[in-house]
Structure formats: structure tokens, C-alpha cells
Amino acid sequence: MKVIECPRDAMQGIRTFIPTEKKIKYLNRLLKVGFDTLDFGSFVSPKAVPQMADTVEVLAGLETEKNTKLLAIIANTRGAEEASKYKAINFLGFPLSLSETFQQRNTNKSIKEAFETIKTASEIAISTGKTLVVYLSMGFGNPYGDPFSPALTVQFTEKLAKTGIRIISLADTVGVADPKTIKMLFEALIPTYPEIEFGAHFHSNPMNITQKLEAAFSAGCQRFDAAIKGFGGCPMAKDELIGNMPTEKVLSFLQEKKRTANINFAEFNKAYALANEIFP
């Protein structure tokens, strides 16, 4: 079972700049918890995401000898080239949207162009000993009226599999996924593509967290993205209760399933307390 802590996703929407030294302190505390991966920063334009403008400086201050791996988000080939220069980074994450509207808004490119970027970025990652993780954003629906069906998620997965992508995270970007659809998709995809590691990046309100987790878990998902206290999420959700899946809820759920290997709960509690100094 892999838990991916996502402080980058939690921080990036905060308008007030979080001092670099505070980010480093928080991320180093998270590195002691035992998460499989830390989504720590992004190599995107500072104009697009000002909060992540200090990613290189933050990286320089991290205790990278820990077992937790590091993931950085990219949005184009330039970002892939830049992120791949750093030995400490293990994964590059690229958001591929099933919604044409959101792909344009999020990365300033069409879905067709995004697939081309994925192909090039994957080649860059492989050549530098890294792995590209693709997030299927708006993977359960979108608020724009763009076409969506579970079959479309399957089609995108098939195309990514042919490109050689080996980690795909289904993202419920605006919190619209229902347990039935979640279970159906993971049950269809996991056995069909055994070479691919499928993850769940859920945004949710407090009322349906457990149902979403149960649906994905029971269908065989063994990779969950989360953020302490559920900070972050997508502003397009238009609901202040829709945020990232709270890490503490995910860990509690996995404890019940007896699947929390490698998590140091004493260190997690320290990180949880420190989050109050980072987030408003």
C-alpha cells in the first residue's frame, strides 16, 4: 500500500507566499513519517503558480537521504528537462485532463498536444533514471459540459499504456465521483493493465470520504494521494468543503484494513501539528 503525501497540492493555491524556510521545515518533517512519496513542488511557470517559484531552493534544503521518494509536477517539456536535472527527484507528474477546457486552462495546451508532451517527457524521465506519473484529471466528470463517460477514462488509459506510462492516478478533480463509478473503473483497469500501477487522487467533502476510499480499495487500488487536514483541492469545485483527501482519514481507513506499513504515527502527529504553522 502506498500513501502519497501532497503538500504541493495543498500549498499551491494559497495566495500569501509561504516562506521557503517554512516549507523546508514542514517537508523535512513529512519526510520522517514514512510516506512512499512526497509531492513536494513543481517546475511550472512562476507566473502560473507563484507559490511554487522556490521549488529549487526548497529541494536544496530537503533531507533527501530519507526513504520517501520525491515527485515534482511539470506542465511541459521545459519543466521535464529542468526537473530531471536533480538527482533527488524520483518522479515527474503530468496532469492530463479528460476535459479539453481544463487541459487548456491548466497547461495551456490541447489534449492532443498534452499527449505529445507526455511522450517526450517520458523519454526525458527514462533517460535520467526517473519515472513519469500521469494524473487523469477530471477523470470522473467535469463542470464545463465537456464529454465524459467511464469509457473515455478507459480510452485515455489504453493510449497511455501504449505510450509506456506505468503509473496512472485517476483524479476526481472536482469531487464528483461516486463510489459505483470509482469501483467500476478500478475493477476494469487494474486487471486489464497489470503492468500499470493505478492510484487514486480524490477530492472530496467530509461526507463521502470513506465511501470513496472503500470503493477504490475494494477494487484493488493500492496507491492513494492525500494531504494533511484536506488542504488544497481544485478551485473549480466551487465548494469550500471540497478539498484533498485528508491524510489522517486515509491512514485511519488503512489502519482498519491493517495496511499502514512503514508509517511512523508519532512523526505523523508532529507533522500534523506543524501544518497549523504552514496553512492559514
Exposure of 27 by Cβ count < 10 A (0-12 exposed, 13-18 middle, 19+ buried)? buried
pLDDT at 237: 43
pLDDT < 70: residue spans in the chain: 234-242, 280
What does the pLDDT look like over 145-177, one tens digit per residue? Answer: 999 999 999 999 999 999 999 999 999 998 899
Exposure of 190 by Cβ count < 10 A (0-12 exposed, 13-18 middle, 19+ buried)? middle
DSSP bridge pairs for 260: none
What distance in Å separates the CA atoms of residue 280 and residue 146, rounded to the nearest whole number? 34
pLDDT at 234: 63
243 three-class SS: strand
Q: What is the DSSP letter of 273?
A: H
What does the pLDDT look like over 183-212, one tens digit per residue? Answer: 999 999 999 999 999 999 999 887 889 999
Neighbouring CB atoms inside 10 A of 279's CB total: 16
The domain segmentation of the chain, as residue ranges, is 2-278
What distance in Å separates the CA atoms of residue 223 and residue 199, rounded to the nearest whole number? 4
* Topology annotation, domain 2-278: TIM Barrel (3.20.20)
pLDDT at 262: 86
What distance in Å separates the CA atoms of residue 60 and residue 250, rounded to the nearest whole number? 29
Burial 141-166 (b: 16+ CB within 10 A, else e): bbbeebebebebbeebbeebbeeebe
254 three-class SS: helix
What distance in Å separates the CA atoms of residue 277 and residue 238, rounded to the nearest whole number? 26
**Distances from the Cα of 8 to the Cα of 46, 95, 181, angstroms:** 14, 14, 27
